[in-house]
A and B are shown apart, each in its own frame.
Chain A
Amino acid sequence: MKDELLLKVDNLSVRFAVKRGGGWRKKSYLYAVDDVSFEVERGKTLAIVGESGSGKTTTALAVARLVPAFQGSVDLEGEDFLTLEGDKLRQARAKVQFIFQDPYSSLNPRLRAEAIVREPLDSLGLAEVDEKRAIVDRLFKAVGLRPEQQRLFPHQFSGGQRQRIGIARALATQPELIICDEPVSALDVAVQAQILNLLRRLQEEFSLTYLFISHDLGVVQHMCDSIAVMYMGKIVEQADRLSLFNNPLHPYTVALLSAVPSVDKKRRKATRRVLIPGDPPDPVDPPAGCRFANRCPVAQPRCSESEPPLRDVKGGHRVACHLVDESAKSPMS
């Protein structure tokens, strides 16, 4: 079982048509996800981090086939999930489930909790009626809700409890891969811990694989086994948890990590805050070279001339920066 690949995403791109200036001008495209590749091993968690507009949620949606991909493939247990149709697609959909960010808008207010959790079974035609009842019972127990709460409506639950319902729904089809899109960012801090602990317990229990989308680096550091950092639709750095947090290489990753306020005095003293000025450039018309070049504190002329490829610099630590060489030292240090 170990080290077996569950998900392999190759050269995935998602583009949206945007109108500029109106009139008869040519349509232009915004590449929200631009040639992104990554792999996730079974039972592991890959986190995708980045700021708003970096394409992390669109990547997740494309992997789950909730937005159409423009290019690329999503290989799930040896099948290309993006080209499946009909019954095959339905079977594959059961393997990929989604936990959404906002537990207030992602539950149908007119359905009782039990019906919400049962819905994936209904729509994918996965179980008999009396079987379903038992499954829902088990799921409620697994996520820490009481059996009598099955009859309640979403508005009768707190935010944390609603997220538990969302998690139970995602578990209903016995999926292999669960995509968690900012699963705790809408919750109060004290409730976040409850949900994060639950997600880790469930991962153990059902040997789940997570694709974990978040902007909160503290949460990511706690949850993931490996991390991909996205900036303007591209992965700029990818590594396992310890390498990325203890030895970040890309200047953007360094800046991102240094921006996180911390209660740890040692860390505050050790990290020099790197302020990156300004905002990301226009995503419809990205710059020619490295997309981070115009904000990068150590940029050189060649950075705005050619785009750095994502390459392995040291034992699986991949980075897209001209200034990182085989010694795997960050140009920022």
Chain B
Amino acid sequence: MTALLKVENLRIELTTRDGVAPVIDDLSFEMNAGETMSFVGESGCGKSMTALGIMGLLPEKVGRVASGTILFDGEDLTRVSDARMREIRGNDISMIFQEPMTSLNPVYTVGEQIAEVLRRHQGLGQRAAWEKAIALLDAVRIPNPRSRVADYPHQMSGGQRQRVMIAIALACEPKILIADEPTTALDVTVQAQIFDLLRDLGRETGTAIILITHDMGAVAEMAERMIVMYAGRKAEEGPVDQVINHPRHPYTKGLISCVPHLMANLSEERPELTEVGGIVPGLREFGRDACLFASRCDMVNDKCRNARPPEVAFKGNQASACWFAEKV
């Protein structure tokens, strides 16, 4: 089976006041149809940049793909025309964002916003698009879709708005849905509803999902494979259960153990949380020939500070970019 999405040696550069910084630095990964994959990391590690790069939505004039390819169904998205990219976006690859309020247009009803996608991409007429919008609202489990379709975004709750976003994103049955922190702004019971919905819809339509998040719990529940990003680079990649049980990169290990997780049986004792000291380096540091995690790592030695670690492969499709991956 050939991969649905194949990213090779992708480098995305941002122009800042301090010069050009590679916010995505030599990133390669593959993803199959129907698969759920997760990108994890702290803010500023390049999770969202990867998504915007795939969508062709990098900030204009500031960001650009410097080298590498993004092959989607055999087509290199870094080379296609703007017109073709517009066709792909929404039709084949679509995206939902963190804040459902700011991503919906407040002056149009949700029905109009869903129907617009269908008219544009699928050439449906007014009436047919409206009917399909109602069907989609029903599919994302909004009660009374026939009356709610004429609501404006402000008349809906946060969870309902995110459902509308999902309806818009899935309107054209895309092959890939990118969900960028889709539940960060929502309550945990609503998050459970949205995850449940995404899982079911993904299964029904065969849509592959890229879930961007900082929550390891969410990754464990939703994804089959995960990529841990740090400072624009892939730190670790592998099947979710395997990575969580046996992380091979100190950063992954830190991310898992620094968060107090709910456990099956709570006991009296409460060990101190493992701290990952320091913060993500600034953009100026990006692209240096060194391990960028070195300043926060407790396994660091001179090698780490002077050369970028190569990816070490492990059994079961796990890989880690650390000089001491075997020892972690």
Q: Which residues in A have some Cβ–Cβ distance to B below 8 Å?
A: 51-52, 158, 160, 188-194, 196-197, 200, 215, 217-219, 221-223, 241-242, 245-246, 255-268, 270, 273, 275-279
Q: Which residues from chain A contact B300 at a C-beta distance below 8 Å?
A: none
Q: Which of A193, A218, A257 contacts B274 (CB 8 A)?
A: A193
Whether A217 and B259, one on each chain, are in contact in the complex, defined by CB atoms closer than 8 angstroms, is no
What is the distance, in angstroms, from B284's C-beta to the closest C-beta of chain A? Answer: 15
What is the distance, in angstroms, from A172's C-beta to the closest C-beta of chain B? Answer: 25
What is the distance, in angstroms, from B137's C-beta to the closest C-beta of chain A? Answer: 15
B218 at the interface (CB under 8 A from A): yes
Q: How far is the CA of A255 from the CA of B268 in the complex (A)?
A: 23
Q: Which of A192, A257, A265 contacts B258 (CB 8 A)?
A: A192
Whether A217 and B189, one on each chain, are in contact in the complex, defined by CB atoms closer than 8 angstroms, is no
Whether B189 and A158, one on each chain, are in contact in the complex, defined by CB atoms closer than 8 angstroms, is no
Q: Which residues in B have some Cβ–Cβ distance to A below 8 Å?
A: 42-43, 143, 157, 159-160, 187-193, 195-196, 214-222, 241, 244, 254-256, 258-268, 270, 272-277, 279-280
What is the distance, in angstroms, from B179's C-beta to the closest C-beta of chain A? Answer: 14
Q: Which residues from chain A contact B222 at a C-beta distance below 8 Å?
A: 261
What is the distance, in angstroms, from B178's C-beta to the closest C-beta of chain A? Answer: 19
Q: Which residues from chain A contact B262 at a C-beta distance below 8 Å?
A: 217-218, 221, 245, 257, 260, 262, 264, 267
Q: Which residues from chain A contact B159 at a C-beta distance below 8 Å?
A: 279
Q: Which residues from chain B contact A267 at a C-beta distance below 8 Å?
A: 262-264
Q: How far is the CA of A219 from the CA of B259 in the complex (A)?
A: 8
What is the distance, in angstroms, from B258's C-beta to the closest C-beta of chain A? Answer: 4
Whether A261 and B189, one on each chain, are in contact in the complex, defined by CB atoms closer than 8 angstroms, is no
Q: Which of B43, B143, B195, B241 contacts A261 (CB 8 A)?
A: B195
What is the distance, in angstroms, from B165's C-beta to the closest C-beta of chain A? Answer: 17
Q: Which of B214, B216, B267, B273 contacts A263 (CB 8 A)?
A: B216
Q: How far is the CA of A265 from the CA of B189 in the complex (A)?
A: 20
Q: How far is the CA of A275 from the CA of B189 in the complex (A)?
A: 7
Whether A218 and B261, one on each chain, are in contact in the complex, defined by CB atoms closer than 8 angstroms, is yes
Residue of A nearest to B141 (CB): A277
What is the distance, in angstroms, from A48's C-beta to the closest C-beta of chain B? Answer: 15
Residue of A nearest to B42 (CB): A188
Q: Which residues from chain A contact B196 at a C-beta distance below 8 Å?
A: 273, 275
Q: Which of B160, B215, B258, B267 contacts A190 (CB 8 A)?
A: B258
Whether A196 and B273, one on each chain, are in contact in the complex, defined by CB atoms closer than 8 angstroms, is yes
Whether B261 and A264, one on each chain, are in contact in the complex, defined by CB atoms closer than 8 angstroms, is yes
Q: How far is the CA of A223 from the CA of B260 in the complex (A)?
A: 9
Q: Which residues from chain B contact A273 at a C-beta distance below 8 Å?
A: 192, 196
A215-B260 contact given A261-B215, A265-B241, CB 8 Å threshold: no
Whether B272 and A158, one on each chain, are in contact in the complex, defined by CB atoms closer than 8 angstroms, is no
What is the distance, in angstroms, from B48's C-beta to the closest C-beta of chain A? Answer: 14
Chain B interface main SS type: loop
Q: How far is the CA of A257 from the CA of B157 in the complex (A)?
A: 22
Other 17 A-B pairs with CB < 8 A, given A221-B260, A246-B266: A52-B187, A188-B280, A190-B254, A190-B255, A190-B279, A193-B258, A193-B275, A217-B262, A241-B266, A242-B266, A255-B189, A257-B262, A259-B188, A264-B262, A268-B221, A273-B196, A275-B193
Listed by A's residue number, 7 A-B pairs whose Cβ atoms lie within 8 Å are A193-B276, A197-B272, A218-B262, A221-B266, A257-B262, A261-B191, A263-B220
Whether A196 and B255, one on each chain, are in contact in the complex, defined by CB atoms closer than 8 angstroms, is no
What is the distance, in angstroms, from A44's C-beta to the closest C-beta of chain B? Answer: 13
Q: Which of A158, A192, A196, A268 contacts B220 (CB 8 A)?
A: A268
8 closest cross-chain pairs (CB), A and B: A261-B217, A222-B260, A259-B192, A193-B258, A51-B187, A193-B273, A190-B276, A267-B264
Q: How far is the CA of A268 from the CA of B261 in the complex (A)?
A: 12
Q: How far is the CA of A255 from the CA of B193 in the complex (A)?
A: 11
Q: How far is the CA of A259 from the CA of B218 in the complex (A)?
A: 10
A215-B187 contact given A158-B279, A194-B275, CB 8 Å threshold: yes
Q: How far is the CA of A109 from the CA of B197 in the complex (A)?
A: 42
Whether A261 and B274, one on each chain, are in contact in the complex, defined by CB atoms closer than 8 angstroms, is no
Q: Which residues from chain A contact B275 at a C-beta distance below 8 Å?
A: 190, 193-194, 197
Q: Which residues from chain B contact A277 at a C-beta distance below 8 Å?
A: 193
Of the listed residues A52, A215, A259, the one surrounded by the most CB atoms of chain B closer than 10 A to its CB is: A259
Q: Which residues from chain A contact B261 at a C-beta distance below 8 Å?
A: 218, 262-264
Q: How far is the CA of A158 from the CA of B277 in the complex (A)?
A: 13
Residue of A nearest to B266 (CB): A245
Of the listed residues B214, B219, B241, B276, the one surrounded by the most CB atoms of chain A closer than 10 A to its CB is: B276
Whether B259 and A260, one on each chain, are in contact in the complex, defined by CB atoms closer than 8 angstroms, is no
Of the listed residues A190, A221, A258, the one surrounded by the most CB atoms of chain B closer than 10 A to its CB is: A190
Whether B188 and A189, one on each chain, are in contact in the complex, defined by CB atoms closer than 8 angstroms, is no
Q: Which residues from chain A contact B279 at a C-beta distance below 8 Å?
A: 158, 160, 188, 190-191
Q: How far is the CA of A268 from the CA of B192 in the complex (A)?
A: 13
Residue of A nearest to B254 (CB): A190
Q: How far is the CA of A166 from the CA of B260 in the complex (A)?
A: 22
Q: Which residues from chain A contact B255 at a C-beta distance below 8 Å?
A: 189-190
Q: How far is the CA of A190 from the CA of B254 in the complex (A)?
A: 7
Q: Which residues from chain A contact B192 at a C-beta distance below 8 Å?
A: 258-259, 261, 273, 275
Q: How far is the CA of A221 from the CA of B265 in the complex (A)?
A: 11
Q: How far is the CA of A273 from the CA of B219 in the complex (A)?
A: 16
Q: How far is the CA of A259 from the CA of B196 in the complex (A)?
A: 10
Q: How far is the CA of A196 from the CA of B261 in the complex (A)?
A: 13
What is the distance, in angstroms, from A237's C-beta to the closest C-beta of chain B? Answer: 15
Q: Which residues from chain A contact B270 at a C-beta distance below 8 Å?
A: 222
Q: How far is the CA of A277 from the CA of B274 in the complex (A)?
A: 36
Residue of B nearest to A217 (CB): B262
Residue of B nearest to A51 (CB): B187
Q: How far is the CA of A200 from the CA of B191 in the complex (A)?
A: 29
Q: How far is the CA of A293 from the CA of B264 in the complex (A)?
A: 28
Q: Which residues from chain B contact A256 at a C-beta distance below 8 Å?
A: 188-189
Q: Which residues from chain A contact B189 at a C-beta distance below 8 Å?
A: 51, 255-256, 259, 275-276
Whether A261 and B254, one on each chain, are in contact in the complex, defined by CB atoms closer than 8 angstroms, is no
